[in-house]
Chains A and B, each alone.
Chain A
Amino acid sequence: MHPRSTGGTTDRKRPQLRRLGSHLAVLPVVAVTALATACGGSGGNQTQNTPTSEHPVTITFANWADSEQATRPGIEDMITKFEAVHPEIKVKSEPISFTDIGHTMVLRVQSGNPPDVAELSGNDTFAVAATGALANLDSYAGDLKSSFIPAEIAAGTYQNHLIALPWTVNPPGLWYNKQLMAGAGLDPNSPPKTRDELMTDLAAIKAKYPDVIPLGLDSTNRDFSLTSNWSWMKSFGAQPFSGDKASANTGQMKDYLSWMRELAQKQYTSPGKKIGEFRPLAAQNKVAFVWDQPVLQGVVQSTNKETDDQFYANWGVAAQPTGTGGKSYSVELGHQLVAFNKSPNKQAAFTFMKWLATDPQAVTGYTVKYESSLPPMANPSADIAKVIGTPTLQAFARDVMPTIVKPEFGPTYSEAYSPIMAGVQSVMTGSTPVDSVASTIQSGLESAFK
């Protein structure tokens, strides 16, 4: 139509296109260089360094302790103390929230940029282990393994190798508020021993204190929540899946779901709340029973400034009320320490992990003081035994720890928790028949495991 003008435009564009071509030709070189740089960095050097106090190594420590107000001063103090004892090792803390740390570690592994050490818990440990990125700690731990509680070592074992060093022992137990129990006409020194007794007590609390939440139970859609509810499912004889086989559409599972619906409908619990949301309420005597870990004590006391004696006078802890099979259950939700294969400083990393988990200074100054948790050692030293001799920690050690079972942790757990907990939320907050919800969970699991 307008050949001259079109030709002119084309002529003007040719040098630009040639320049673009030459720029694009450089792209692969830039990309390869960038990739090499990305894959390199600190993680690229696989040699084991020998650190000295003059030439210390720096290890990175991804953890949520440093991201939470309640534990930040404690962990920072521990790092300072560790560096004083081990001047050849510097620790750089990387705070990541508890909710995000699991998937953040998987993504960092995928991008070739894991830390040297990380704090993990529950299924997160096994999800990261499934990527093959965690260091085998067998050779580092050696005889040390025999000094830990066997169940804690089992909780850190994946495919017959120790991949996580137990740090804090934190199973949930049934906390009961003695003041509220007494006020509701219940015996404050006799917590419910069976599920029927529990329901009777919840009814008494609700009748006497309409604005108090009778039972604090996490029912969010998180893997932590499934782990917390696992023991309640077990008490009905239910287990929604095993390996990659779904078994949610069973009578036992329906019984559990019906019970959760009853708790919500009678307003015995507040659906959709994280366990962390019940803790400040517990500090105000607004929750009568809480299915929670030892850490509850620390949060309550840091919130309401109660002394130890005041706390023990008001709160006690017991094993889960027995269910269908006459047994109590709990799960290990303690914190574990892992090292990564890619770390060039695995020995330094393990030195730090071991110190945090076992050194009396760390156990008394952090594990007990800030986490209100038990240490993982089978026979703790006298110093440690003295500080863990509190009524609640003793109750955890005596009554709760023997009831611990290990959920089906692993890659399938990451895919299973959402369909299960979405179903639990459905029965608690909607009117869909339980049979239908159980069937939906079953098909959701089968689809996820395909």
Chain B
Amino acid sequence: MVAPTLVILAVVIGYPIVRAILMSFQRYKPLSGLPATNTGLNNYHEVFGDPIFWESLRNTAVYTFGSVAVSALLGLLLALLTENLGGRWRYVRSLLLTPWAVPLIVVAFLFRYMLDQDYGVVNAVLRHLGIIHSNVHWLTSSAWAMPSVMLANIWTQLPFFFLIFTAGLASVPNEVIEAARVDKAGPWAMATRIKLPYLTGSALVAILISVINNFNDFAKVWAMTEGGPGYSTTTLVVYVYRLAFSSFNMGYAATVGTIWLILLVIFAVLYIWLLQRKSAS
């Protein structure tokens, strides 16, 4: 039973990875009509002097860690605020989960239309309220594009953290809560000293899963800005896509892709290590 699994894994996962890594050492441009030629470490040397690569890496870090940090904090806050909701109010928690059910590409287009500089509802409302006097170019200004894409991303992944933290809060033993109440712990002390320590393990795992997901996120960025304006929202995955499927510079795209893969593997190893440590404890 092991062999077929290994064969499938080798074909579906192993071959593309090995092929991409091999290609990362080659100069391969299908449109040139020339076959792939080995160039050793040339592509890797080129990457380190490539300003767009560094900008993409910086954008990826801002997008990933910024989105995850804000989503985790807001998710925690909402979980704490809605923890004791009862009666009809408990449905608020279901309502908070709805963004998670919306397909990513729909989220991207929803936000794209809402944030349209000329006819988007966001500018219309802000102008109506007198907060702005001229339209803000949310998705087409170098300063606002990244925060706007992150806003859509945070909106869609907030429920994930909310769910994780709500489940974590439910697992805090009642005896501990009762003991803290007897000791007259206030809401702040209850949250930070009693409940948060119980959430640390699940929070770490959720954050790592989220980091990996955000690191790979293509659909939202591409649908909202295609990496622009300029390169202001170009993340590594968008850069690889442009290199491979617009410029057809396959060898160089494979090089950037391999570096991206190495970074992802580091996160994945960290995730597995955390899982093992958690199950051991």
* A interface residues, Cβ below 8 angstroms from B: 16, 19-20, 23-24, 27, 103, 106-107, 110, 127, 130-132, 211, 213, 220-223, 267, 270-273, 281, 286, 411, 414-415, 417-418, 422-423, 425-426, 428-430, 440, 444, 447-448
Contacts and interface: CB of A to CB of B under 8 A. Distances in A.
Give the dominant DSSP class at B's interface: loop
B32 A272 contact: no
Contacts of A222: 226
B31 A131 contact: yes
Interface residues of B, number: 39
Nearest 7 A/B pairs, CB to CB: A272-B140, A411-B31, A426-B230, A425-B229, A23-B3, A429-B229, A430-B142
A106 B32 CA distance: 12
B228 A213 contact: no
Given A103-B246, A106-B31, A418-B246, A20 B226 contact: no
A423 to B, nearest CB: 7
A221 B247 contact: no
Given A429-B137, A448-B249, A414 B31 contact: yes
Nearest to A27: B7
A84 B257 CA distance: 50
A422 B231 contact: yes
A271 B31 contact: no
Given A103-B245, A414-B248, 20 more contacts: A19-B3, A20-B6, A27-B7, A221-B226, A221-B228, A222-B226, A267-B134, A270-B117, A271-B140, A273-B140, A411-B32, A411-B248, A414-B247, A418-B247, A426-B142, A426-B229, A428-B140, A429-B142, A430-B143, A444-B52
Interface string B1-14: 01110110000000
B118 interface: yes
Contacts of B247: 414-415, 418, 448
Interface in B173-213: none
A414 B225 CA distance: 20
Contacts of A286: 118-119
A430 B228 CA distance: 11
A16 B137 CA distance: 63
Contacts of A272: 137, 139-140, 225, 228-229
Most chain B CB within a 10 A radius of its CB, from A19, A127, A418? A418
A440 B231 CA distance: 12
Nearest to B230: A426
A414 B245 CA distance: 10
B281 to A, nearest CB: 27
Contacts of B242: 418
A23 B4 CA distance: 8
A213 B230 contact: no
Contacts of A270: 117-118, 140
B104 to A, nearest CB: 18
A285 B6 CA distance: 62
B9 to A, nearest CB: 13
Contacts of A273: 140
Nearest to A221: B228
B29 interface: yes
Given A130-B32, A444-B52, A425 B3 contact: no
Contact of B141 (A110, A223, A267, A429): A429
A24 B7 CA distance: 8
B86 interface: no
24 contacts: A16-B2, A27-B7, A103-B248, A106-B31, A106-B248, A127-B248, A130-B31, A130-B33, A131-B30, A131-B31, A222-B226, A411-B31, A411-B248, A414-B31, A414-B246, A414-B248, A418-B247, A422-B231, A426-B230, A428-B140, A429-B137, A429-B141, A444-B52, A448-B247
